[in-house]
Amino acid sequence: MTNKIGFIGCGNMGKAILLGLLSSQIVKARQIVGYDIRTEITDELARQHGVLTADGSAQLAQQCDIIFLAVKPDVIRTSLGEIAGVLKPRQILISIAAGITLDAISAVVGPDKKVVRVMPNTPALVREAICSLTPNQHVTPDEFSQVARLFSSIGRYERVPEYQIHAVTGVSGSAPAFVFMLIEAMADAAVAGGLPRKQAYQFAAQTVLGSAKMVLETGLHPGELKDNVCSPGGTTIEGVGVLEDKGFRAAVMQAVRASTHKSIRLSQGE
């Protein structure tokens, strides 16, 4: 890929995607331009990885073919306003801001601009992301393929209609935090059982990784995979009973739904 790619916002999510792209080697460091209001972030990226930097959003937009808007939802309209006057119809704008609709973006940058809404997640950093892609009507099939190629280099992607993005936010955008909490809790219990902390994290994290891979690669229902682990009168069904008693399944559903509903509220300007 020869496109020049810009990142407006290089915080946790923007940086994860940027470094994931570099790790995949689909683009070279000199094809990436970064801008963040916190200049120490882009200075470090330039020093450690060789990416280019810009002094402002408009300067970045003037030199890039594909522009990632990786800023928080509460400041995205300000960032859009800074680049609206210099955007060209040929450029592709990728927004990862939760709750900010395609129409809201077009209202600022103009109705003729190419925009793709993306809901990524932080495993992009290790090229294990799952991202939803939602283009507007101006993005051609070839241009969508270019964007999809970027995101397939950092994990998996699914094309979804815009109304489903709220659910994606809950189940993947926010959910890595829930999984990290699960890993931490599993490891804490293992430490209480006598396992050294470092090993406890290894066992817990690899168990989550392997279990997820089984779901993706076997095609079996998670409930069937769970049943396969539960021997009659065994240790696993004893633990499953405790999770059911404590409302584990309901708590996870409520957490995902809470993140989903927050995304809806953001889209309504709340």
pLDDT tens for 99-136 read 889 999 999 999 999 999 999 998 988 889 999 999 99
Just give the CATH number of 5-160. Answer: 3.40.50.720
Total residue length of the chain = 270
Matching CATH topology for 5-160 and 168-268? no
Is residue 70 a known part of a binding site? yes
Q: 55-63 long-range contacts, Cβ below 8 Å, gap at least 24?
A: 56/82, 57/8, 57/82, 57/83, 58/82, 58/83, 58/85, 58/86, 59/35, 60/6, 60/7, 60/8, 60/33, 60/34, 60/35, 61/6, 61/8, 61/86, 61/87, 61/91, 62/86, 63/4, 63/6, 63/33
Is residue 13 a known part of a binding site? yes
CATH pick for 168-268 out of 3.10.129.10, 1.10.3730.10, 1.10.3720.10, 1.10.3470.10: 1.10.3730.10
How far is CA 116 from each of CA 3, 67, 135, 143, rounded to the nearest angstrom? Answer: 16, 10, 4, 10
Nearest CA among 18, 36, 13 for reference residue 98: 13
Is residue 168 a known part of a binding site? no
What pLDDT is attached to residue 213?
97
Is residue 10 a known part of a binding site? yes
With contact defined as beta carbons under 8 Å apart, do 30 and 136 qualify? no
pTM over 0.75: yes
User: Which parts of the chain register pLDDT below 70?
Assistant: 270
What pLDDT is attached to residue 193?
97
What pLDDT is attached to residue 269?
75
Q: For residues 9 and 60, give the distance between their C-alpha atoms in angstroms, rounded to a whole number.
A: 11
Q: Chain-centre distance of CA 239, in angstroms?
A: 31
Is residue 72 a known part of a binding site? yes
Domain ranges of the chain: 5-160, 168-268
Paired tokens of 79:
């960032």
Nearest CA among 39, 34, 42 for reference residue 61: 34
Runs of H (alpha helix) within the chain: 12-24, 39-49, 57-61, 76-84, 102-109, 141-152, 165-168, 175-192, 197-218, 222-229, 235-245, 248-267
* Strand ranges inside 96-144, DSSP E: 114-119, 129-135
Is residue 121 a known part of a binding site? no
Is residue 214 a known part of a binding site? no
What pLDDT is attached to residue 270?
66
pLDDT tens for 41-67 read 999 999 999 999 999 999 999 999 999
